[in-house]
Structure 1
Amino acid sequence: MLTLNNREKIADTFGQSCLSYDKNARLQRYSGNLLCQFLNQLPSLQSPTQKSLLDLGCGTGYFTQKLAAKNFKDITALDLSSQMIAFAKQRDYAGDVPTWVRGDAHALPLASNTKDIIFSNLVLQWTQPLSVALSEAYRVLKPGGYLVFSTLIDGTLDELKQAWARVDNDKHVIDYLTHNQVEHAWQSSGFTEVFSHCERVELPYPNVNHLARELKHLGASLVKDKRHKGLTGKDKWQKMSHYYREIDRAQATTPLSNGHIQASYMLYTACLMKKEN
């Protein structure tokens, strides 16, 4: 379980990366655009000017800006990182400026039954237990409202996890929930499924150092249960890089040339509905 203190440390890590976040957020762009496509498919959103929306975990405001251009009635942009909110506020927004709220997904500072849509892009993997955050989203949604979200599940960065496992028995990669655990969490929170999708996304990198650097810039390098803190020795890093290339050659569905490697992300996206009264 991630305590509030743990979640605030993660938020601080993301906040410190706000200046470099957008140029490294390839996966976030891909998943967020999928969620926007989900919104376009909802028949009840043909008139967004009548709908209120919460951007849960707004980050740098990249998708907040896109959502604002859709002319929702009002948008609340919430993040646990005050640095991210400060950065997001600097963007230009079409229509009304979003309402900015610093808050925790485990205890949303919003009234019940007040939002038509909750949009959450690659945030909920940082909420443990996930069921608490989902129950809060359910509370805040109006009956008949929708939660559209993406998260990462087990199998993400599996090449990196396997490579480190050949070097030592420490924990170097974050553990993610399984597909079944995520579905159980939203079912137990009361949601019904409109549609969901799971896919393996492979992103190319020049080398393992580049992968590690991108993860750091995205603020995603914090491993809570790591036993040996601090920098990893050069010898261990070289061994891990060697094993990574071996594993990548054996597992990649589309092998790359020029010595590049790939990293796998298991992306789960869903559109859920709060039941009508």
Structure 2
Amino acid sequence: MHESSDSPFTLDRHRLRRAFERAAASYDQAAVLQREIGGRLLERLDLIKLKPESIVDVGCGTGAITAALLKKYRKARVIGLELAPAMVAAARRRAPWLRTLHGVVGEAEALPLAAASCDLIFSNLALQWMLDLDRVFAEFQRVLKPGGVLLFSTLGPDTLLELRRAWAVADSYHHVNAFFDMHDIGDALMRTRLAEPVMDTERLTLTYRDVDGLISDLRALGAGNVTAGRPRGLTSRGRMRVMRETYERYRRPDGLLPVACEVVYGHAWGPLTSPSRSRTASPAVFPLSQLRHRGWKED
């Protein structure tokens, strides 16, 4: 369930960590999609009868959703886990009055948590940065208590589709990260014996005045190109011009450039405690919806 080490789509983990380190100061300004999807994921918790004592937010970024989790479950111990120390520091600064909000530097593939220690694992738009989903979900299964819940969102393969196609005309390098398909994610959940996995997708559209604004925001988020197949030197002005001209073909009648985002949602239960929860559900696709922003900045 992961790319081989010689795949052009393999993620450079060290480069990714450095990108997140640099992005800690600019992340909040550009994280409109992350906040929107995080809010939608939080709303899904209203449908689950759960009084968690221990929560881990995997890929917490600068802690906005982590703090929201604590406000929702005030008696819970909430842990925010992030790859980059600067992101964890930003999360701690965000809410110093939240004494039960803990920031931990670590990776989802090797959670620094005891077995059967969490009632809720929450992960918003972070799994797309994981190298091995089977290993990640095995760790989630390990730390979930019996009857615990996993709830996550990630990005599907149609995300940044226009940018991917524009770069494909300009050169043969990989400029956009690859994303797992919903069905592959669902299969990984079942292979790691997480119970009753349910998947659905939603397609959103962001808008920008120009492609440079999109690229700037991706860098501000630490979401630039960290694949093995990326160009190793500076991209020439000629290739940049071809990419921009190709992207212009997508410009809408309102004068804005669209940015496709395929959001994948999923939830599953932890280790089984009785035969009544032994079934697994096939992934299901729900009706599509659209969300349009004037760029990635709040109105």
In the superposition, the TM-score normalised over structure 2's length comes to: 0.83
2:136 aligned with 1:133: yes
CA distance in 2, matches of 1:101, 1:260: 40
Quote the Cα distance in structure 2 between the aligned partners of 1:213 and 1:78: 26
Unpaired runs of 5+ in structure 2?
A: 6-10, 274-299
Is it true that 1:179 corresponds to 2:182 in the alignment? yes
Identity across the alignment (%):
35
Q: Find the aligned partners of 2:198 and 2:230 in 1 and give their Cα distance.
A: 39
Residue 219 in 1 paired to residue 222 in 2?
yes
Q: How far has the Cα of 1:276 moved from its partner?
A: 2.3
Residues 92 and 102 in structure 2, CA contact (< 8 A), matched pair in contact too: no
Q: How far 1:194 moved relative to its partner?
A: 5.6
Alignment counterpart, residue 275 of structure 1, candidates 261, 271, 277: 271
Q: Which amino acid aligns with 1:242?
A: E
CA RMSD of aligned residues (A): 2.0
Cα shift at 1:52: 1.2
Please state which structure has a larger fraction of its residues in helix. 1
In structure 2, C-alpha distance between the alignment counterparts of 1:98 and 1:264, rounded to whole Å: 34
**In structure 1, C-alpha distance between the alignment counterparts of 2:253 and 2:35, rounded to whole Å:** 22
- Could you tell me which of 20, 45, 51 is aligned with 2:26? 20
What is the deviation of 1:240?
A: 0.8
> For 1:196 and 1:74, how far apart are their aligned partners in 2?
27
**Normalising by the residue count of structure 1, what TM-score does the alignment of the two structures yield?**
0.90
1:125-163 per-position Cα deviation (integer Å, ceiling 9, x unaligned): 111111111110111000111011011111111111111
Stretches of structure 1 that go unaligned for 5 or more consecutive residues are 250-254
Say if 2:15 and 2:226, in contact at 8 Å, map to a contact too: no
Task: Give the direction of change, closer, same or farther, for the CA distance of 1:215–1:256 in structure 2 (3 Å limit).
Answer: farther
Distance in structure 1 (CA, Å) of the matches to 2:61 and 2:4: 19
Shift, 1:72, TM fit: 3.9
Task: Report the Cα offset of residue 2 of structure 1.
Answer: 8.3
Q: Number of residue pairs matched? A: 266
| Partner residue, 2:283 | none
Query: Cα gap change, 1:126/1:11 in structure 2, threshold over 3 Å: closer, same or farther?
Result: same
Secondary structure of 1:10's partner?
A: helix
Shift in Å at residue 95 of structure 1?
5.1
| Match runs of 1:24-63 below 5 Å | 24-43=30-49, 45=50, 47-48=51-52, 51-63=53-65
Q: Is the 8 A contact 2:89 2:103 kept in 1?
A: no
Report the Cα distance in structure 1 between the residues aligned to 2:225 and 2:90, rounded to whole angstroms.
21
